[in-house]
């Protein structure tokens, strides 16, 4: 069968297979809405204990969705909360497996940072999330608590422009040091910049890629 490949995300008619197409969300993302307690399972224990340790001001929202717990944290409290999550005997989240950035341009605090924490002691998983503005993109670094966050925070800085206060070496990790802008922000231009590799190999910019037959 010699069918033409379609673009990502349902793009049709552009001849583009990269996903570039100027798509916009069908509806704006609303502000975070907390789930009402009780949350079920160990979620109530974690939230109650963390509230005791860090205070109610540190926890801005509690969301339970599809069987997963996300605790939204004030940006200046992230390192303190992570310290409690790791060291408290009732929590013992010893591993930070991932730190990633997300951009929600419809929100005032559009730059989000997400932390995936795991407790090997109790076989539990919790997600922490915080959000900042583009004008004040500062979040407390957690590298002193979770050394695994070092390069991941650098990637979030490089790709999204989040500044991790207290990071020992907050420099770009993927893009050249003199690169302007942060490529994974939703308003970053996709067209016009080819991807260059060693040995003079080059991939055209997204708006110049064409469908395969």
pLDDT given at position 5: 47
- Per residue in 161-197, pLDDT (tens digit) is 999 999 999 999 998 888 889 999 988 876 555 555 5
Residue 213 forms part of a structural domain:
no
The average pLDDT across 146-170 equals 97
Exposed, middle or buried by CB within 10 Å (0-12, 13-18, 19+), for 168?
Answer: exposed
Domain count, the chain: 1
Residue 1 forms part of a structural domain:
no
Nearest C-alpha neighbor of 75 from the set 93, 57, 91: 57
Residue 4 forms part of a structural domain:
no
Residue 54 forms part of a structural domain:
yes
Residue 67 forms part of a structural domain:
yes
Residue 24 forms part of a structural domain:
no
Say how far apart CA 161 and CA 180 lie, in whole Å: 10
CATH number at residue 108: 3.30.460.80
Residue 139 forms part of a structural domain:
yes
Sign for the pseudo-dihedral over CA of 11, 14, 18, 22: negative
The average pLDDT across 88-107 equals 96
More confident residue, 29 or 93: 93
Residue 179 forms part of a structural domain:
no
Q: For residue 139, is the peptide bond before it cis, meaning its omega torsion is within 30 degrees of 0?
A: no
Say how far apart CA 185 and CA 102 lie, in whole Å: 8
Nearest C-alpha neighbor of 126 from the set 89, 95, 167: 95
pLDDT given at position 71: 97
Tell me which residue range forms the domain holding 42.
Answer: 10-19+29-174+184-208
């Amino acid at each position: 069968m010699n069918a033409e490949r379609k673009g990502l995300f349902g793009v049709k008619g552009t001849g583009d297979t990269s996903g570039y197409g100027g798509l916009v969300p069908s509806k704006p993302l609303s502000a975070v809405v907390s789930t009402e307690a009780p949350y079920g399972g160990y979620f109530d224990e974690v939230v109650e204990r963390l509230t005791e340790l860090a205070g109610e001001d540190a926890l801005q929202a509690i969301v339970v969705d599809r069987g997963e717990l996300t605790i939204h944290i004030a940006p200046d409290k992230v390192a303190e909360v992570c310290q409690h999550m790791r060291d408290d005997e009732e929590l013992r989240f010893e591993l930070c497996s991932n730190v990633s950035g997300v951009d929600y341009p419809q929100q005032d605090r559009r730059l989000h940072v997400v932390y995936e924490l795991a407790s090997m002691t109790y076989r539990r998983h919790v997600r922490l999330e915080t959000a900042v503005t583009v004008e004040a993109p500062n979040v407390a670094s957690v590298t002193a608590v979770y050394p695994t966050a070092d390069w991941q925070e650098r990637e979030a800085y490089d790709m999204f422009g989040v500044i991790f206060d207290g990071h020992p070496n907050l420099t770009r990790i993927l893009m050249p040091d003199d690169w302007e802008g942060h490529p994974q922000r939703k308003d970053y231009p996709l067209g016009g910049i080819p991807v260059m590799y060693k040995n003079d190999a080059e991939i055209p910019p997204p708006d110049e890629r064409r469908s395969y037959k």
